[in-house]
Amino acid sequence: MTAGRKNCLSCDRAIQGRSDKKFCNDSCRNLHHNKRKMPATACVRHINRVLLRNRRILQGLFTSSRQTIKTPKKKLEEQRFDFRYFTHQSSNRRGQRCVFCYEFGYRVLKDVVMVSRAMRSNE
């Protein structure tokens, strides 16, 4: 084994050629970098999925032209609404703190949730 000879960081095969190379070829380099990025990507995907499901559940409440719907918290949880994830928070005109999932704003009042759509988010 010659001094300074290294193995590919991706496939662990001995690297031929220049001693400063870290990978045997571009596909090994890409594979290695994609692997490193994966946990972050998976996290973003997971959160996006949860947020979009939350939004779909809220959207499903608005079957009429009403702007505000009162619904049991349990009903949302049964549909796997995840209260840990939301897009932003804001106060409404009455100074009440609202949690948002995109264009839907809601307030949890004990067992019921007041949901409004297209509420101004003061941004």
Which residues bind to Zn ion, rule: CB under 5 A? 8, 10-11, 24, 28
Residue 16 or 63: which CB sits closer to Zn ion? 16
Question: What's the closest the beta carbon of residue 28 comes to Zn ion, in angstroms?
Answer: 3
Question: What's the closest the beta carbon of residue 74 comes to Zn ion, in angstroms?
Answer: 53
Residue 1 or 40: which CB sits closer to Zn ion? 1
Angle, alpha carbons 85-103-42 (nearest 5°)? 35
Residue 18 or 110: which CB sits closer to Zn ion? 18
Count H helices and E strands in the chain, helices first.
Answer: 2, 5
Question: What's the closest the beta carbon of residue 18 comes to Zn ion, in angstroms?
Answer: 14
Are the beta carbons of 72 and 111 closer than 8 angstroms? yes
Residue 28 or 61: which CB sits closer to Zn ion? 28
- Can you tell me the distance from the alpha carbon of 119 to that of 26, in angstroms, rounded to the nearest whole number? 49
User: Which residues, other chains included, contact 105 with Cβ-Cβ below 8 Å and sequence gap of 6+?
Assistant: 90, 92, 98, 99, 115, 116, 117, 119, 121
| Residue 87 CB-half CA count within 13 A | 16
Question: What's the closest the beta carbon of residue 40 comes to Zn ion, in angstroms?
Answer: 23
